[in-house]
Structure 1
Amino acid sequence: MSSIFKPHITRMSAYAPPLEGRNPQQFTLLDFNERTIPVSEPIKQALVDFIRGDRLQMYPSYGDITERLADYCGVDAGQVMITNGSDQGIDLIVRAAAAAGDHAIIPGPSFAMYTQCAAVENLRVSEPGYTRSGGFPTAAVLASITEATRLIVIANPNNPSGTLVAREDILAVAAAAPQAAVLVDECYFEYTQATVADQLAAHENLVITRTFSKTWGLPSVRFGYVLSAADNIRALLNVRGPYDVNQLAIVAAQAALDNPAYTREYVREVMEQAKPLLEQYLDTAGIDYWPSGANYLWLFPQDVTVLSERLKEAGILVRPKADADGRPGLRVTIGTLDQTRQLVEVMKSTG
């Protein structure tokens, strides 16, 4: 039987992250760049109170969440759109910006959703390469821009490498391609504090995606948002459905914004204590890794398979990630100081 769907879609492969067997009661989960501790009690209580309030039978009502996010981000409310995780934001931007046959620039290796969404729209994709020494391939990206370029993706920081992109490089790309949507993924913003949100008026082709899945610790309820010029937000709202964001996500996000200290303290522990501890060990042990601006490191131990298995036996999950040359590596999420100490001890005992 021939497919009823577009031929290029039937030829694709699904993005299928290895989610099976990830039991937080059994393992320390250092494999998906999630927060490694539970959400705060006020968030849990807000969700319980909502469920007990017998409102699940109602369509979602978003209240003032857009205004609160605008205040948090230092932008106007008209420059904010909430989404079902940042993945939906990425998908909507790609769909709205580019048509089949258009050109996209997606430096790699990077987050699989970018190329997945581009493939669904049947775009022609150029993939300039990140390097450990050179970081973001600014010159190659600029050289790849043509009149047919409708989408440029900049992950800041990049995943899996953790590479930070200089603010001036992002703005140079935006200025060089005014006809293209420049999607800047800032999903790790709370770790990096790096943003171009203050440039939305100066560069109206900037479209920023963020999420509550990483630092805020809410990936299961799927809440993200987009920042861009007001005209862009109005256009994207024509594509997003009126009820795409579920009410539990709104309740959780509101409670998180009401109680930011819990998240700020976690970020401080990860970035100022745990991450330096792991980096110091890797430097001492001579284990190669990419410089990272976020809560994860992409490292290349001598025997990836042995180390990964030893960590799993010790109750720690990490994510295998090979580089562009096929060199096997591990992307390791950085958790609390105690969790990082346990990680280092296993690595030391493995040799």
Structure 2
Amino acid sequence: MTNPFFVNHGPFKISEILKSISLVSNEDNDNEIHDVKDLVASTETDLTFFHNKNYAELASKTKASYCVTLDNLVTYLPSSCKPIIVENVLLCIANITKKFYPSSVTDDFDNEVFDIENTDHKEKVKFGKNVYIGKNVNIGKNCKIGHNSIIESNVIIGDNCSIGSNVILRNSLVKNNVSILDGAIIGKKGFGFFPNKENNIRYPHIGIVIIEDNCEIGCGATIDRGSMSNTIIGKNTYIDNQVHIAHNNKIGNNCIIAGQVGFAGSSTLGDNIMIGGQAGISGHLKIGNNVHIGGGSGVINDIPDNSRIMGYPATNLRNFLKGKK
């Protein structure tokens, strides 16, 4: 079935496909591949992938001509399907899919403008409809901003950034090669109050949000600006949909944070951290480098480097599993 939503740039010769993942073809016949599909949907003109033994039964029935797979999984494939053996199946199939469907990794918008008020650059920036740009805004080169988005005052956006539709961005420094997806709200005032006898007094927030290079912020995510210090998202960090990051948090480099994770304020996270969905991180904590936090966990204490934790209150994974027996 033809994909009605994304343009397929194929077919490609198998030699071209292998070259895209740094392999050389030893095929006598340089066959054409028309599409890349999963094990079930593939036909004899397609390429598929198989990376997990749990899908062995589906792999044994696939009609694909070629399959990107691991050496120890080849025996599950039918004789009609030729294996392409790699070390990292998901990385290779991602690169192959981008070759067939390059538009699948970017979101383009309809309108374009060339001369932008309140910015230093006259480079072409692609806009959707009903975009508002406030005062003291600087937008870098080769950026695009989706429909109905609001770039409030005091925002700097670096080069090669993509701002989705219905995004609100204020009091923020967004560096280069950053993607902020639809509906995200970045740089609003944090949830800071002083209790008083008669009413609660809001604490002023004079910090900003800093998003370092090569980050992605998911749909509906909210990141509050700092109170006195800044809220910082480190380089190469990916934040999923509906994540909330409160004021003054410092998140390190190369982190992956799954959907619906919530951060209270003023915690510091190291580098190379992975957090599963719906985990909660209490305020004023220090979480070390190379930490994995399981989905649904409640973190209420500092976590040392190289820890694997799970549960509520979050504990060492080994202790958590013992408690389940």
TM-score interval, smaller chain: under 0.3
User: What is the TM-score normalised by the length of structure 2?
Assistant: 0.23
Of structures 1 and 2, the larger Rg is shown by 2
Point out the structure with the larger strand share.
2
User: What is the TM-score normalised by the length of structure 1?
Assistant: 0.22
Point out the structure with the larger helix share.
1
